Amino acid sequence: GEDVEQSLFLSVREGDSSVINCTYTDSSSTYLYWYKQEPGAGLQLLTYIFSNMDMKQDQRLTVLLNKKDKHLSLRIADTQTGDSAIYFCAERTAGYSTLTFGKGTMLLVSP
C-alpha cells in the first residue's frame, strides 16, 4: 500500500536554511505536495510538484524530487520564526483525488 514517511522533528536557527525530507512508496504517484499547519489551524498548501519535474522554486521554497529514490525534500531559505509549524508531505496517485499524508515534521525555529 501507499506510505509516506517523514522525520518527526527539525530545529534550526533563524536565518538558516531548513530542509525537510519525505519518502514515498507509491511509484504511480503523480503529484507531491507540501502543506503547513500552524497550531489550531487547518492545512495551508505551500507548493506542489509534478512527478515529471526534478525541482520547483517558489520564493523562499525549493522542492527537490528524486523519483528514482522516491525522495522529496522541501528547502526553506532564510528560515524565520514564523515558519515554525508542522509540515506535511502528501502524495496523490493519478486518477484519484485522495491525498496520502506523512505524519508531519515539526519545524522549530529559534531566534
Partner 1 sequence: KAGVTQTPRYLIKTRGQQVTLSCSPISGHRSVSWYQQTPGQGLQFLFEYFSETQRNKGNFPGRFSGRQFSNSRSEMNVSTLELGDSALYLCASSSGFIDEQYFGPGTRLTVT
Residues that bind partner 1 (CB under 8 A): 31, 33, 35, 41-45, 48, 88, 90, 95-104
Residue placing its CB nearer to partner 1 in the complex, 10 or 35 = 35
Lookup: cell for 26: 507509491
Cβ 45 to partner 1 shortest distance, Å: 5
Cβ 80 to partner 1 shortest distance, Å: 22
Lookup: cell for 4: 509516506
1 DSSP 8-state letter = -
Residue placing its CB nearer to partner 1 in the complex, 70 or 102 = 102
Let me know: does 96 contact 42? Beta carbons within 8 Å: no
Residue placing its CB nearer to partner 1 in the complex, 2 or 14 = 2
Q: In angstroms, rounded to a whole number, what is the distance separating the alpha carbons of residues 75 and 98?
A: 25
Phi, psi of 18, deg, nearest 5: -115, 140
Other Cβ atoms closer than 10 A to 47: 17
Cβ 43 to partner 1 shortest distance, Å: 4
Cβ 104 to partner 1 shortest distance, Å: 7
Residue placing its CB nearer to partner 1 in the complex, 19 or 41 = 41
